[in-house]
A = this chain, B = another copy of it.
Amino acid sequence: MRRKMIGFEELTPLSEALEKLRRYMTHRITETEIVSLEESHGRILAEDITATISIPDLNRSAVDGYAVIAEDTFGATPNNPVTLRLVGKIMAGARPDQLPRIRRGETAEIMTGAPLPDEATAVVMAEHARQTNSKVEVTRQVTPYQNVSRMGEDYPAGSIIAKKQTRIMPWHIAALAGQNITSVKVLRRPRAAIISTGNELVMHGMKKNVGEVIDTNRPMLKALLETSGAEPIDLGISPDSTEELRSQIMKGLSRADMVIITGGTSIGETDNVPDVVSSLGEPGIIIHGLRIRPAKPTGVGIIGGKPIFMLSGFPVSAYIGYKTLVEPCISMMTGTRMPPPPRIRGRLTRRVAKPQGIRAFVRVRVRREGESYIVEPMMLTGSGLLSTLTGGNGILEIPEMLEGHDEGEVVEVEITQPLEGD
């Protein structure tokens, strides 16, 4: 067996790996595209959006009630109401140039959202007024601009509604619609070419002979990329042939912003991915072997500023490699941040041990018991066991300096699926 089977020469801590990725991965998504506002959900803004219309575009009533000159109500109480003369009624959608004029001692009935007449400075809520014929008794005083949505108080014209590189959320869509915007310039989605390697692999849906293994990584990676807002380019299964692999990686680099290879990344005889990546250019491989478990054999190469992720063929390792390196890389490439994942604090049902100096990702099962949570560790090893992901619902990340956690200790767990219990 060749010397490279001896072991990884040096394992890189995860924080250092991310630092290296940040330093060498110079490729950025700069191309933009125009999408309709309703298709923009989850996309990344490619420009600042500035309000051209003040929102509200004029002073509007925030309640159903009576438009007044605030001073007229001063001192009003239920026992000592102020009586005003009713001079009109203003419905939502009324034209501002057709509103009743309000003078001192006068009021107009007004609906929520309706424009406030120029002279009026506040609105008395309907609950604090009694209307009889053409008189209104006000039973509570209002201060100037009370119950009024003032022009521009939400977004004054000229203010920034959302900055470039914002991930468009439902409320951004609402705010942009309010500006009468119907289409928006966004970054094109990052593209990731996916290659599975291994002579034993067959694609799902194809005839599988005994001894062969169905490739489960490409379908999983496609779904993960979708979650990250990226677009997969499926380059299929590449046999463990140096030439074939080289040509597929080159194809990936030319079509996509990154290449993700699963399998063949370790130090075995047929693990030729690192050699092929090294041969493609500078700087070549920047990381090979991580101080994490699972996913130790993960590597990263950089060619022309674009990353080539070499993930383990074992599905759990591939998943952890994706979450720890590929997902952060997509954020770097688009200049965005991800919101934090859901986490929960719960009590461990038993001790979890791990080697010091290694960052561990323990699959766990979290369930609710009354007001607290119970965390049952499943497996630290078993990087081939998808059942630890499908049957679990959380990941307990244990940093390098710890040797584990004791039974009964309260730990923070990242939640991957709905919780059981209660």
Contacts and interface: CB of A to CB of B under 8 A. Distances in A.
Interface in A326-369: 336-344
B92 A175 contact: no
Interface string A1-38: 10001110000000000000000000000000000011
B198 A92 contact: yes
A87 interface: no
A370 interface: no
A315 interface: yes
Interface residues of A, number: 103
Nearest to A297: B112
A1 B90 CA distance: 12
A214 interface: yes
Contacts of A93: 198-201, 211-213
19 contacts: A5-B126, A6-B126, A6-B127, A58-B211, A91-B199, A93-B201, A93-B212, A95-B209, A96-B210, A113-B198, A167-B417, A171-B386, A173-B220, A178-B214, A178-B216, A339-B415, A339-B418, A340-B415, A342-B342
A354 B183 CA distance: 39
Nearest to A8: B127
B270 A111 contact: yes
A153 B222 CA distance: 26
A402 interface: no
Interface stretch (A69-77, A187-195, A261-269, A274-282): A261-269
A222 B270 contact: no
Given A93-B212, A204-B180, A62 B342 contact: no
Contacts of A389: 169, 171, 174
Interface of A: 1, 5-7, 37-38, 41, 55-58, 62, 64, 91-97, 109, 111-115, 126-127, 131, 149, 153-155, 161-162, 167, 169-175, 177-182, 198-201, 204-205, 208-217, 219-224, 226-227, 266-271, 313, 315, 319, 336-344, 384-387, 389-390, 393, 415-419
A111 B387 contact: no
Contact of A384 (B149, B198, B210): B149
Contacts of A62: 384
> Which are the 5 A-B pairs with shortest beta-carbon distances?
A93-B200, A64-B268, A337-B418, A171-B389, A170-B223
Nearest to A222: B38
A24 B111 CA distance: 33
Contact of A342 (B6, B155, B223, B343): B343
A87 to B, nearest CB: 15
B211 A115 contact: yes
Contacts of A222: 38, 173
Given A175-B216, A178-B216, A113 B170 contact: no
A56 B64 CA distance: 67
